[in-house]
Amino acid sequence: MRVVLRAVWWHCSGDRGGLGAAVMTCCVRAWWLVSALLAVSWWICGNGVATAAWSDDLLVADFEGETYGEWLATGGAFGTGPARGALPGQMSVEGFAGRGLVNSFCGGDDATGTLTSPAFRIERGYLSFLIGGGRSERLSLQLLVDGRVVRSATGSNDVPGGSEHLVAESFDLTEFKGRMAVLRVLDEAAGSWGHINVDQIVQTDIRPRGYLTDVERSLQARTRYLQIPVRNGAAKRLVTVLVDGEVVVRNEIELADGAADWWAPLDISGWRDRTVTLRVDRLHEDSAALQNVGESDELRDAAELYAEPLRGQFHFSPRRGWNNDPNGCVYYNGEYHLFFQHNPYGWSWGNMHWGHAVSRDLVHWEELGDVLQPDELGPMFSGSAVVDWKNTSGFGEGGRPPLVLIYTAAGSPTVQCLAWSTDGRKFKKYSGNPVLGQVTGGNRDPKVFWHAGTQQWVMVLYVEQQGRHTVHFFTSANLREWKLASVSEGDAGGGRYLFECPDFFELAVSGDVLRRKWVLLGASGEYGVGGFDGVGFQPEQQRLAGQGGRGFYAAQSFSDVPDGRRILIGWWQTETRGMPFNQSMTIPLELGLRETSEGARLTFAPVRELSSLRGGVRSLGMQELRPGQRNPLEGMEAELADVELEFEPVGARSVVLTVRDVVVEYDVLKQELVVAGHRAAAPLQSGRQRLRVLCDRTGVEVFGSGGLCYVPLPVNVNSQNRRLYLESRGGTAVVHSVEVYELRSAWQRGGER
Ligand code: FRU
């Protein structure tokens, strides 16, 4: 009855008319409600239904008062009475009933304590309540019967980034009916999410709808894919895939209980006619997630594939899900193989698999399925690939040299493992994994290469050691057994320049093949230059700035490229909200090492194969560019633009090339490029500057100073603006040439080559 009266009061106070009108409205509404309730009770009794939920529920506590009343608080966490929502320093607390709730954040996450109810009789079949806060055994709402904890619940807190939203949960009390019980809210947790929220505790006979555990759906595998509904930001559920009852893989998925943002394909083609079961650890009874899982031979929304508004048109990105680092870059059997850190079932990082794509020209990529999925050794972190020409590993078959993947399994311990293939399509994990045990928990990202000088394999491995960032060098005769050869300090020169994903390779200096130097590269693009004797790196210079942009990370060079080019590709952090995929790769870059007055420096250039996408060209010859003059690029519009510009600044303070809405300014005084506000050193070369600007839907890559300056920059370019604009400011510049190419999309139908 209490609930009903509160509803009447709410209606009255919500009326914004005059007092008379309000009183009148209230009376009419109250009269109407009372008659309606009488009619309902009559109908219920007359029809033999035993009880009506609203009148029969027993309120245990709603925490609407100023104090906890007869409940007893100990410790500091619960304060002296219910909170009115969030406490100072807490995220916004939502989902509680009325104005007050139990919130053990009094004094912050570190405060602890208990809050215990007076004894009460269990008179109904269920106890329903709202609960939130941290997820831990040390944070719980407990039901005690005869002094023993017989039921316990904690916050679900399963949304990425954490949530202060209380959700409805319940205990089944049937077996304790008639017994006396006590409730205790316990906060024994300190640190992040060390608090609990509870509200609206009610005894009821109507079983509250709530969460179920280990919910399953099984089907016969008849199609290529199961389509899993994903809602970005929803609670992460642990989804186990079983085939004929055997566990195959587990992933954490933000399952859509209702409408999905996108559909993640789970490839089941390898299990045709077998029983595939999806088991979800925790699912609300009202969730439609499992019923909504679809079966199909094509990707859902396949018609849009590669034509999505934020799909880079000449940069690789995965069909679905998230990518980070490029992995296993290698040329094998006439194809470039690009593996990558892939979350096939999420828009953000997680569930690390190795995705796989192949290309014959570094421009047109075909994505194949994932080749490594998480196993009992952990998720599949970054690593590299080599062609084992001499079959030192013994994985070769029928005279075919194996393609060997070397990766980190990031479980506990975190170890290095092998997988191989002899056709570049099917991969097997080595049964003797791991091949290298844990050095420290922070060891990962093995990059392996064949060192011709000492006729052995060398692995460079990132190892975080007591807060120091190091690269460990290991050597091996057969890829299966490794021994430590040396350790390089990644903090040399100040800062952690060799942090994660090291790469190590030799380059000719200024094209002189007799003068070669080794480059040790860290994930952010900083590098050292020096010598290598098969044991350790002898740096001449360390911590040199590499790429000058933003959102470029964990680049890796291709192994076994037949013409000897050193080709690097980086993770390009292009954020594509609203798309069923996220992130991408940079253009493959040809690296060089140029002698400068300060020593040898890396140079970057887009691989020459990119030119195959060039359509028609519009160009300008030599001319003076005066401040305030008419835009010489008027009418030269392009969506996917590849622009080359060479100029001498002469008297100009700056020369500005605007490609669509991205401003690329050359600051003559500072000899710096300013790309969309981001600065990078770009020295003039013999008084001239030559720029190349590549503009895709998700960002620009700018090359200057003969490749010494490379500025990758993710930015979602305004799709409406295709204009190009060139101007000089503060004085006249001489433009030697401008060429504007429109590029074709690299994605042909369905991404097939
Ligand atoms: C770099 C990195 C690697 C790790 C991988 C996991 O981005 O942190 O060190 O192997 O990502 O996805």
Q: What per-residue confidence (pLDDT) applies to 158?
A: 79
pLDDT-based confidence at 55, cuts 50/70/90?
A: low
Ligand 1 probe mutation, 322, 323, 325, most atoms within 8 A of CB: 325
Res. 149: pLDDT tops 60? yes
Write the pLDDT tens digit of every residue in 478-531.
999 999 999 999 887 777 789 999 999 999 999 999 999 999 999 999 999 999
Q: In what helix (H) or strand (E) does residue 584 lie, and over which residues does it extend?
A: strand 584-585
What percent of the chain shows pLDDT beyond 90?
Answer: 88
Ligand 1 pocket list (CB less than 6 A): 324-325, 341, 352, 381-382, 408, 444-445, 500-501, 523, 553-554
Do residues 346 and 490 both lie within one domain?
yes
Whose tokens are 């493992």? That residue is: 417
Question: What is the CA(538)–ligand 1 centre distance, in A?
Answer: 26
Domain assignment present for 683: yes
Kindly report the CATH number assigned to the domain that includes residue 631: 2.60.120.560
Question: What is the CA(554)–ligand 1 centre distance, in A?
Answer: 8
| 658/660 Cα distance (integer angstroms) | 6
Question: What is the CA(463)–ligand 1 centre distance, in A?
Answer: 13
Domain assignment present for 21: no
Position in ligand 1 atom list of the atom nearest CA 501: 9
What percent of the chain shows pLDDT beyond 70?
Answer: 92
Question: What is the CA(413)–ligand 1 centre distance, in A?
Answer: 16
Residue 529, both tokens: 């230059």
Q: What per-residue confidence (pLDDT) applies to 490?
A: 86
φ/ψ of 117, rounded to 5, equals: -80, 160
pLDDT (average), residues 136-150: 97
pLDDT-based confidence at 144, cuts 50/70/90?
A: very high
pLDDT (average), residues 218-227: 98
| Catalytic residue list | 325
Domain assignment present for 38: no
| 495/501 Cα distance (integer angstroms) | 16
- The candidate with the shortest Cα–Cα distance to 358, out of 293, 419, 321, 403, is 403
Do residues 644 and 526 both lie within one domain?
no
Do residues 646 and 703 both lie within one domain?
yes
Position in ligand 1 atom list of the atom nearest CA 325: 7
Q: What per-residue confidence (pLDDT) applies to 429?
A: 98
Q: How many residues are present in the chain?
A: 753
Q: What per-residue confidence (pLDDT) applies to 24?
A: 32
Position in ligand 1 atom list of the atom nearest CA 382: 10
By CB atoms closer than 10 A (0-12, 13-18, 19+), residue 324 is: buried
Ligand 1 probe mutation, 323, 339, 414, 445, most atoms within 8 A of CB: 445
Kindly report the CATH number assigned to the domain that includes residue 460: 2.115.10.20
Domain assignment present for 443: yes
Do residues 568 and 652 both lie within one domain?
no
Domain assignment present for 175: yes
3-state secondary structure 308-375: CCCCCCCCCCCCCEEEEEEEEEEEECCEEEEEEEEECCCCCCCCCEEEEEEECCCCCCEEEEEEECCE
Write the pLDDT tens digit of every residue in 372-406.
999 999 999 999 999 999 999 999 999 999 999 99
Beta bridge partners of 449: 458
pLDDT-based confidence at 188, cuts 50/70/90?
A: very high
Q: What per-residue confidence (pLDDT) applies to 125?
A: 96
Res. 292: pLDDT tops 90? yes
Residues 6+ apart with CB under 8 A from 299: 225, 263, 265, 305, 319, 320
Whose tokens are 């609930």? That residue is: 3
Write the pLDDT tens digit of every residue in 264-291.
999 999 999 999 999 999 999 999 999 9
pLDDT-based confidence at 161, cuts 50/70/90?
A: confident
| The amino acid at 58 | L
Res. 14: pLDDT tops 80? no
**Domain closes at, from 204, 233, 257:** 204
For the ranges 24-33, 96-105, 127-136, 505-514, which has the lowest average pLDDT?
Answer: 24-33
Do residues 506 and 384 both lie within one domain?
yes
pTM value is 0.86
| 392/388 Cα distance (integer angstroms) | 7
Do residues 414 and 323 both lie within one domain?
yes
Contact 600, 594 (CB under 8 A): yes
The DSSP code sequence of 264-293 is EEEE-GGGTTSEEEEEEEEEETT--HHHH-
**Domain closes at, from 172, 204, 236:** 204
Nearest CA owner, ligand 1 atom 12? 381
Our CA dihedral for 713, 719, 721, 725, rounded to 10 degrees, sits at 30
Do residues 525 and 466 both lie within one domain?
yes
Do residues 437 and 551 both lie within one domain?
yes
Res. 426: pLDDT tops 60? yes
Write the pLDDT tens digit of every residue in 57-77.
999 999 999 999 999 999 999
Q: Which stretches of 477-566 are assigned E, i.e. beta strand?
A: 483-489, 503-509, 512-521, 527-532, 537-544, 552-557
Do residues 509 and 625 both lie within one domain?
no
pLDDT (average), residues 230-257: 97
Between helix 19-46 and helix 2-13 the angle, nearest 10°, is 150
pLDDT (average), residues 450-467: 96
Overall number of domains in the chain: 3
Question: What is the CA(250)–ligand 1 centre distance, in A?
Answer: 20
Domain assignment present for 306: no
pLDDT (average), residues 21-48: 36
pLDDT (average), residues 152-170: 88
Kindly report the CATH number assigned to the domain that includes residue 115: 2.60.120.260
Whole domain around residue 663: which residue ranges? Answer: 610-750
Domain assignment present for 304: no
Mean pLDDT over the full length of the chain: 91
Nearest CA owner, ligand 1 atom 6? 381
Q: What per-residue confidence (pLDDT) applies to 64?
A: 97
Position in ligand 1 atom list of the atom nearest CA 500: 9
Do residues 537 and 438 both lie within one domain?
yes
pLDDT-based confidence at 37, cuts 50/70/90?
A: very low
Residues 6+ apart with CB under 8 A from 189: 109, 112, 134, 136, 138, 139, 195
Do residues 96 and 141 both lie within one domain?
yes
Q: What per-residue confidence (pLDDT) applies to 90?
A: 95
Do residues 566 and 640 both lie within one domain?
no
**Domain closes at, from 204, 234, 258:** 204
Q: What per-residue confidence (pLDDT) applies to 695?
A: 98
Domain assignment present for 251: no
Q: What per-residue confidence (pLDDT) applies to 496?
A: 77
Omega prior to 413 cis, within 30 of 0: yes
